[in-house]
Amino acid sequence: MIHLLMYVFLSVAPPRAAQIHVELPGDTIDLRGRMGAAETAQYLADKQICHLKNGALLVRIHSRNKVAEAVMRNGDKLLGEELLRKQRERNRDIYEAFEKHWDFCPVYFFEAEASKAVKDIHRENIIFLGEELKRDPEIRFPQGNFLTAEFGTLPESRSDVFELRYMQENGEWMVELHNNPDKSAGNFSAFHIMSNHFSRLSSPFPYFVRTYDDLVFRRQPSAAIRKMNKRLHEFAKGCK
């Protein structure tokens, strides 16, 4: 069963190397400089794909409520209502695309109010939604590894450091600090997968599928999800 979970996404720039501050329980290992860029990229991709295959994907759903409210306050009620209608339709398309075309791992959807809880891995502070998009306090997200994802603009990767956060077999969290193997620009529309604290991933992990939202013949959610699902299955063949 696919569930939805609500969260708030805070637009905070990734930390620079001198600002690394990890608050998760467990151990932190600084592996910066021990591997080259290509070796680091492959190591991170191998770890992350297995974390996802054996864990879950949390997909961010945008509501555009604040944008619509601002438009309505400026006197254009019809435009605000149209923005909300189109976003609801797109969210439904995304949800249905996962139901029909995704089988790589369990999927949970989330919106604005619980982003800090997701980022800090405080599951007790998260309010989930059921299939009818209504809050259901009985739904519990299982302990374990997860990655996040969304439809939107692929962000730039600006941090010098990448934090690999994952749960070990003993249930304790581990944080590895690596030199970021990919600090390239983004700024194009895509369905893209991020870390469990919303950091952009790097190749060779197949972390994005372009959606061409600025073009007339844009890729629909069903096609993007189907393509991503296939890529992940192919990339994860070495995972146990």
Of 105-109, 229-233, 234-238, the range with the lowest mean pLDDT is 105-109
**Tens-place pLDDT, residues 59-73:** 888 877 677 677 777
Number of domains in the chain: 1
**Residues composing the chain:** 240
Largest pairwise CA distance in the chain: 58
What is the pLDDT, as a whole number, of residue 21? 47
What is the pLDDT, as a whole number, of residue 23? 57
Question: Above 90 in pLDDT, residue 105?
Answer: yes
**pTM value?**
0.85
The confidence band for 134, taking pLDDT boundaries of 50, 70 and 90, is low
Domain assignment of residue 191, yes or no: yes
Domain assignment of residue 66, yes or no: yes
Top-ranked range on mean pLDDT: pick from 74-78, 125-129, 170-174 = 170-174
Q: Are 151 and 98 in contact (CB under 8 A)?
A: no
**Tens-place pLDDT, residues 43-102:** 999 999 999 999 999 988 887 767 767 777 777 778 788 888 888 888 888 989 999 999
Domain assignment of residue 78, yes or no: yes
Chain mean pLDDT for the chain: 83
Domain assignment of residue 240, yes or no: no
How far apart CA 232 and CA 197 sit, in angstroms, is 20
Sort 100 into a burial class: Cβ within 10 Å, 0-12 / 13-18 / 19+.
exposed
| H or E element at residue 30 | strand 27-30
Which three-class secondary structure state does DSSP give residue 91? helix
Q: In the predicted model, what is the mean pLDDT of residues 151-159?
A: 87
Question: Above 90 in pLDDT, residue 22?
Answer: no
Which region holds residue 147: left if phi is over 0, alpha if psi is between -120 and 50, else beta? beta
Question: Above 60 in pLDDT, residue 108?
Answer: yes
Question: Above 60 in pLDDT, residue 113?
Answer: yes
Domain assignment of residue 207, yes or no: yes
Question: Above 70 in pLDDT, residue 147?
Answer: yes
Top-ranked range on mean pLDDT: pick from 68-82, 125-139, 200-214 = 200-214
What is the pLDDT, as a whole number, of residue 143? 80
Q: Where in the sequence is the domain holding 187, given as residue range(s)? A: 3-235
Domain assignment of residue 128, yes or no: yes
Q: Are 148 and 193 in contact (CB under 8 A)?
A: yes
The tokens describing 203, both together, are 């190749």
The tokens describing 48, both together, are 């992350």
Higher pLDDT, 82 or 1: 82
